[in-house]
């Protein structure tokens, strides 16, 4: 791996890490906005809380999906090789 490839890899990891927080906030805000709009449309007061909760769940689901993806990439290096040869 050349220095330039390594630099791109680090930059890509930083970009993916920064999207985690943005996704969490955007999902939460989107859920709240949808719930607020539906509350106004149907003249209710509870839908904003339902959709806020759904937005938070969606944000954390995305967070765990990204973390799982990154965790899978961590084990791809030479240190993660099978140690069964030692037995």
- Indicate if the alpha-carbon torsion angle 68, 74, 77, 82 is positive or negative: negative
pTM given for the model: 0.70
87 residues of the chain, pLDDT tens digit each? 666 777 768 888 888 888 888 999 999 999 999 999 999 999 999 999 999 999 999 999 999 998 888 777 665 555 545 555 555
Task: Give Cα separations from 12 to 4, 18, 41, 55, 77 (angstroms).
Answer: 12, 10, 42, 26, 17
> How would DSSP label each residue in 12-52?
HHHHHHHHHHHHHHHHHHHHHHHHHHHHHHHT-SSHHHHHH
Contact 53, 31 (CB under 8 A): yes
Question: What pLDDT score was predicted for residue 36?
Answer: 97
């Amino acid at each position: 791996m050349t220095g330039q490839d390594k630099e791109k890899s680090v930059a890509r990891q930083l970009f993916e890490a920064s999207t985690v927080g943005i996704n969490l906030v955007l999902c939460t805000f989107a859920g709240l906005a949808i719930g607020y709009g539906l509350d106004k449309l149907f003249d209710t007061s509870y839908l904003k809380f339902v959709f806020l909760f759904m937005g938070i769940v969606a944000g954390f689901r995305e967070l765990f999906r990204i973390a799982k993806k990154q965790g899978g990439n961590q084990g791809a290096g030479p240190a993660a090789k099978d140690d069964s040869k030692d037995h």
